[in-house]
Amino acid sequence: MAAPDPLESLYDAHAGALFAYALNLTRSEADARDLLQDQFHRLARQPMPPTVRDARGWLLRSMHHLAIDRIRRRATRDRVADQWSKEPLELFATHADPDETAFRQGLAEALGELPEDQRSVVHLKLWEGLTFEAIARLLDIPPNTAASRYRYGVDKLRARLRPLYEEIR
C-alpha cells in the first residue's frame, strides 16, 4: 500500500482551518482561494521543515502573512476594502434552522466590522482554540496584547449581536 502524499495529508488536515482564516481576514472568497492555492504551491516547491512540531501553527502563521500582504496590496489597488469587509460571507457552515442561519450570517458580518488585528485574534482563539501564548507567537505580539485584542473583539461582537442573540434564544 502506497504511503499517502504528505501534501495531501497536510491539505486534508489543515485546509479547512486555513481557508476559513484567510476568508475571515481578507473577507473575499476569491482572495481566500488564491491564498490557499499559493500556500500549497509553495509547500509543493519547498516542503515544511521537518523541525516544525506544530504544523497547524506554522501553516496559520504563514497564511496570516500571506493574507496581510494581500490585504495591503488590495488597499493600494483600490479603496473599497472597507466595503468588502462588510460583505456577507459564507464563513460558517449552513444550518437547517433559519434563525440559526441568520445568527451565523450576522456573526460573519460583525466579524467583518472588527479591525483586522482583533479579528485575527478572535478567530484564532474561538475557532482554532489557541492559547494567548500560541496566538502571540503566531502573530509576533505580546500575549497581553493578544488577550486585550481578544477581549475588545469579543465584547464588540457581543454588543453587536445581542439583539439577534436574545431574539433566537
Partner 1 sequence: MNTPPSRSDSDIPDAWETRLSRIPLAPPPPDLRRACLRAEEPRHSASGGLAFWRAVWAGHPWAIRGLAAAWSLIAALHLTTPEVPVATAKARTVWAEETLKLVARQRAELMATALDWDRESAPVSDESAPPAKASDRPNAAPSTAFPTNRMS
Binding residues (CB under 8 A) for partner 1: these are 5, 7-8, 11, 15-17, 19-20, 23, 33-34, 36-37, 39-41, 44, 73, 76-77, 90-94, 104, 107, 126-127, 129, 131-133, 144, 147-148, 150-152, 154-155, 157-158, 165
Shortest distance, CB of residue 51 to partner 1, whole angstroms?
Answer: 24
When the beta carbons of 65 and 95 are compared against partner 1, the nearer one is 95
AA identity, residue 10: L
Q: How far is the CB of 21 from partner 1 (least distance, A)?
A: 9
Comparison of 53 and 79: residue with beta carbon closer to partner 1: 79
Please identify, using beta-carbon distances, which residue of 85 and 111 lies nearer to partner 1.
111
Give the chain's radius of gyration (CA, Å): 17
Q: Measuring CA to CA, how many Å separate 21 from each of 79, 83, 85, 121, 137?
A: 22, 19, 14, 10, 17
The three cell numbers of residue 166 are 436574545
Report yes or no: 27 and 84 within 8 Å, Cβ to Cβ: yes
Residue 42 or 86 with smaller CB distance to partner 1: 42
Smallest separation (angstroms) from partner 1 to the CB of 24: 9
How far, CA to CA in Å, does 65 sit from each of 25, 42, 68, 160? 11, 13, 5, 28
